[in-house]
Every structure is written in structure tokens, then in C-alpha cells.
Amino acid sequence: MKLMFVFLLSIFSFFQSDLEALRNSYSKANLSNENAKNFIDLAEKKTSSDPVISAYKASAKILEAKITTGISKKKALVKTGATSLEEIIKNNPNNAELRVIRMSVQENIPKIVGYNKNLKDDKTFLLTNYAKQNPELKNYIKRFIEQSKTTSAAEKASLK
């Protein structure tokens, strides 16, 4: 019994460290092309069917457009990534981390692309459901909201 518990705990810990590494890399990805490349490489190596991991992989495709040359290649990457991300969220509409990912993508993608229609909905969802999240995810959401371009000072202050 103890062996089974240790085995399950180690698998859970391994998955959590993978997710934490993705979160940390993602939060820095927009700061430089090198950070973007590091995040893209890290995301591409993941082979999980978990929707959160899949969403990070989709966001990596979108981010890849930022560091790629050629308009048609950029369009294809954004379309592929956005389509995947939307499908993942459609299948998991109550997952707060997925909403953080989409909101951050939509805040940082050029407005001319037109992928910014969910900003209000995602922000409302995150602010409304913040208290229901586990401590790690709360911290991640709070860090994102604090630097968010579309969140007011009062909304930022409401997160405790």
C-alpha cells in the first residue's frame, strides 16, 4: 500500500514539476525572442493529453509566429494555434488556467490579427472564479492579472 502511494505521489510530483516549468517559461516567453524559443522548445517536448499542457502547446504555436519570418507562415501558425486553443477551451470551459493562457495570448497578439474577442469574458471568468482555485493556480492567476493590460487597478486589488 505504501509503495503504491509513493508511486502515485511521484507521478503526481513529476507532472506538477512539468506544469510548473511550462508556467514559468510561458510567463517569461514574451520578454525576448530567446525566452520565446525556450518556451516553444519546452512545450514541443511535452506529450501529455492533459488539456492544460495542450493549451500551452497551442500558445507556443501562436508565439512561434512572433519569431518566424514570412507572412503566410505566421498566419498559418496563428491559425493552427488559435484553433487548437479554442477547441481545448470549448471542451474545458471551466478550466481557469486555460482562460489565463487565452487571455494572455489575446492581450499580446497584435490587434490587426483579430484574435481578441474573448478578453472580457476571460477576465470576468478569472475574477469570478479566482477564489475557487488551488493555491498554486491562484498565485499564477494573480501574477498574470497584476501585469495584465486589460485589468483595472480595482480588479487587480480584488484578488487576495
The pLDDT tens digits of the residues spanning 82-105 come to: 999 999 999 999 999 999 999 999
> What pLDDT is stored for residue 18 in this prediction?
83
Coil, strand or helix: which one is 151? coil
> What pLDDT is stored for residue 47 in this prediction?
87
Residue 5 has pLDDT above 50, yes or no: no
The position carrying cell 479566482 is 130
> What pLDDT is stored for residue 79 in this prediction?
97
Q: What is the rounded distance in angstroms from the CA atom of residue 59 to the CA atom of residue 54?
A: 9
> What pLDDT is stored for residue 108 in this prediction?
94
Which domain range does residue 106 map to? Answer: 2-157
More confident residue, 26 or 5: 26
Tens digit of pLDDT for each residue in 15-62? 447 899 999 999 999 999 999 999 999 999 998 899 999 999 999 999
Residue 80 has pLDDT above 60, yes or no: yes
> What pLDDT is stored for residue 8 in this prediction?
39
Q: What is the rounded distance in angstroms from the CA atom of residue 39 to the CA atom of residue 21?
A: 9
The pLDDT of 121-126, averaged and rounded, is 98
* Contacts by residues 60-67 (CB-CB < 8 Å, ≥ 24 positions apart): 62/105, 62/109, 63/29, 63/30, 63/36, 63/39, 63/105, 64/36, 64/40, 66/33, 66/36, 67/33, 67/36, 67/37, 67/40
**Residue 80 corresponds to which cell in the numbers above?**
493552427
Residue 4 has pLDDT above 70, yes or no: no
Q: What is the rounded distance in angstroms from the CA atom of residue 55 to the CA atom of residue 147?
A: 21
The mean pLDDT of the chain is 90
Sorted by sequence, the CB contacts under 8 Å of residue 122 that are 6+ apart come out as 99, 100, 102, 103, 106
The amino acid at residue 57 is: K
* Contacts by residues 34-39 (CB-CB < 8 Å, ≥ 24 positions apart): 36/63, 36/64, 36/66, 36/67, 37/67, 39/63
> What pLDDT is stored for residue 14 in this prediction?
41
Residue 156 has pLDDT above 90, yes or no: yes
Q: How many domains does the chain have?
A: 1
CATH of the domain at 49: 1.25.40
